[in-house]
Structure 1
Amino acid sequence: MLSTVHRGAAFENRALRVLQTNLSMSLNHVGGKSDGGIDLRGWWWLPFTPSAFADPTHRQRVRVFAQCKAERKKTGPKYIREMEGVLHRYFNDPNPMVALFISESHFTKEALLRVQSSSIPFFLLHLPSEHEDDIGSMVWNEALSGTNGLLQGKVEARWERSLDSDRAGRPSLWVQNQRAPSWTPEKLRSPER
C-alpha cells in the first residue's frame, strides 16, 4: 500500500502521461510543499486553424495550471474555489490560461455547478483508477469552450467509443469537425516519430 505522498506523486505522473499522449499538453511537475496550489504547469497545444493540422508547429499554445487530487471521496466545490483563488494571481499573465483540475474520483454536482458558473476557463478531468490510461470524463465550462470563451467554440471534446469490449471509450479533441491528433513540441524532438 502506497503512502498518501507516493500515491499523489504516482497520480500526478500518470496525469502527465495521459495529458501528453492524448490531449496535446506538455506540462511539468511543480508540486510540493510550497507549490502554491499548482501541481502541474505548462502548455496546451491547440490547432485552431486548418494549417495547424498540416503543420503542427502552427498550433497555438494556452497556459495550463493544474491541480491533481488522488482521493477516494468525490471532489467537491471547495477544491474548485481554491483553484479559482490560486489562478487570480496569474491574471496579469499575457498568455491565455486555463485551470485544469484532475481527480481520481468523480466530481460532485456542486463542484460541476461551481465550475460552470466560474468566469475562469476551467477544465475538469476524471482519471479513474481502474486502468492506467483511461479517461473517465472531461468537463469544460462556458468560459473555456463557449463561443465567447477562450477556445471560441472552435475546439470540442467528443466521446469516442472503443472497439475493445473491456473499455468504455475515451474523449478526444475535435476542431472544425476533424479529430485533432495529440501533438506537443516534445514529439518533434522524439526519435520514435
Structure 2
Amino acid sequence: MTLHLPIYSVFRFNITPISRPQCRRPLHSFTRRLFKLPSPPPHPSSHHYDLPSFVAYANRTSLSAATTAYIGTHYEYTVQQTLRSSAFTLHRVGGRDDAGIDLVGTWHLPHREHPIRVIVQCKSLKTKLSPNLVRELEGTFHQSPVGWRTGDEVGVLVGPREATKGVRDALARSKYPLIWMMIERDGAMRQVLWNGRAEQLGLVGLGVEVRYSAEDADSSAKKVALIWDGEEMPHMDQVESEMSAVEERWLCSWGISSSGVERNKSELLDAVQRLFPEEKPLLSGTGTCSTLSDTDRAKVLQSLSSKEFAQYEEKEGTSHAST
C-alpha cells in the first residue's frame, strides 16, 4: 500500500468581499538588508513592474490582449497583486533564463520573524493542468535564484482551473513543500491546497476562508481567502507599514532618524552586520526591537568611531602630502 501525505485546505465561511489593492513599488534596498530579505533578480522589463504599469504599457504600445506575451504577463502580475493581500511580496522574474520560475518573493506569516521564501509558477492555461506541472515545479527548487535556496522555501503552482485528481495526488506524493492555488484571470482566488511537507515547514496555522458576495447566490461564485489561526491574513501593505515603523525605531535607538543621511544608515548597518551577522529588528513582541545587549552596541559604536578616526587620519595624510 502506498502512503500519501495529506492535502490540506481548512475552511471557514464569510460573506465579506475580497478587495484587491494596487501593488506598490519594491522595498528600499536598505530595508531589505536590514530585515535580511533576499534581493530579487533583475526585473525582465524596464517598462512595467506591476499590473497597472503593464496595462498602461500594453495600451501605449498597442500590444494585443490576444497575444501569448500579453496573456502570460498579465496573469503573472494578476497573481502578484492578488497574493499581496495575503502577505506575499513577489517579484516577476519571467524571461529567457527564468528556469521555469515566474515570480519569487517572501511570505510574511503572522508572528514569524523570518518570512518563508516562495517560488511561483503561473500557468494561464485553458486546458486542465496535468501532474507533470507539479514535477516541473519541483525542478525549480534546484534552479531558484540566489537567496531562495535556504531549505525553507515553498513552491507555489497557480492556474485558473481547479486542481485535478492527478495534480492533487502529485502534490501529496511530493517530497517538496508545495501549494496549489486556483486564481482566475480576473484575480479571484477560488481554491488553495497544500501538502504535508508544507505543513511541516510551519504552515500549521494556515486555513482558507470561503467568501460570498451578498449579491451572488450561486455557489460557483465563491471566492476564498487565506487566514492564519482563524484570523484574516495581513495585507502586505500592513506588513510593510509595520516594517517601516520598526525600522524607524531601530534607527532611532542608534540616534539616527529614518530620514537621515543614507551614508550614515548604511555605515551603521555595515558595522552591525559585520560584528553581529544575526542581528535583525524584531517585528513581533513588545519592548526593544533589537537583540543586541548594551555591550554589543558599545562594540558597534567603537567600530564606527575607529573607522571615522581612520578616515580622518587618511584625509589628513593626503592633505599634508599635497602641500
Decide which moves more: 36-45 or 177-186.
177-186
State which structure, 1 or 2, has the greater radius of gyration over its C-alpha atoms.
Answer: 2
Displacement of 1:89 in angstroms is 4.2
1:115 is aligned to 171
Could you state the TM-score of these two structures normalised by the residue count of structure 2?
Answer: 0.49
CA distance in structure 2 between the partners assigned to 1:79 and 1:114 by the alignment: 9
Alignment of 1:96-107 (within 5 A): 96-107=152-163
Match of 2:233 among 152, 175, 180: 180
* Unaligned runs of at least 5 residues, structure 2: 1-64, 245-323
CA distance in structure 2 between the partners assigned to 1:108 and 1:155 by the alignment: 22
Amino acid at match of 2:174: S
Q: Greater helix percent: which structure?
A: 2
Residue 87 to residue 176, structure 1, CA distance change in 2 (3 Å): same
Match of 2:106 among 28, 31, 43: 43
Q: Do the aligned partners of 1:24 and 1:44 also contact (CA within 8 Å) in 2? A: yes
Alignment of 1:37-186 (within 5 A): 37-47=100-110, 49=111, 60-89=114-143, 93-94=149-150, 96-129=152-185, 132-145=186-199, 149-165=200-216, 168-184=221-237, 185-186=239-240
* 1:81 alignment partner, SS class: helix
CA distance in structure 1 between the partners assigned to 2:167 and 2:117 by the alignment: 23
Displacement of 1:136 in angstroms is 1.6
CA distance in structure 2 between the partners assigned to 1:83 and 1:127 by the alignment: 17
Q: Do the aligned partners of 1:122 and 1:141 also contact (CA within 8 Å) in 2? A: yes
Displacement of 1:181 in angstroms is 2.6
Displacement of 1:88 in angstroms is 3.2
Provide the identity percentage: 24
CA distance in structure 2 between the partners assigned to 1:124 and 1:152 by the alignment: 14
* 2:133 alignment partner, SS class: helix
Structure 1 runs (4+) deviating above 6 angstroms are none
RMSD over aligned Cα atoms: 2.4
Q: Do the aligned partners of 1:63 and 1:95 also contact (CA within 8 Å) in 2? A: no
Displacement of 1:78 in angstroms is 1.0
Amino acid at match of 2:212: R
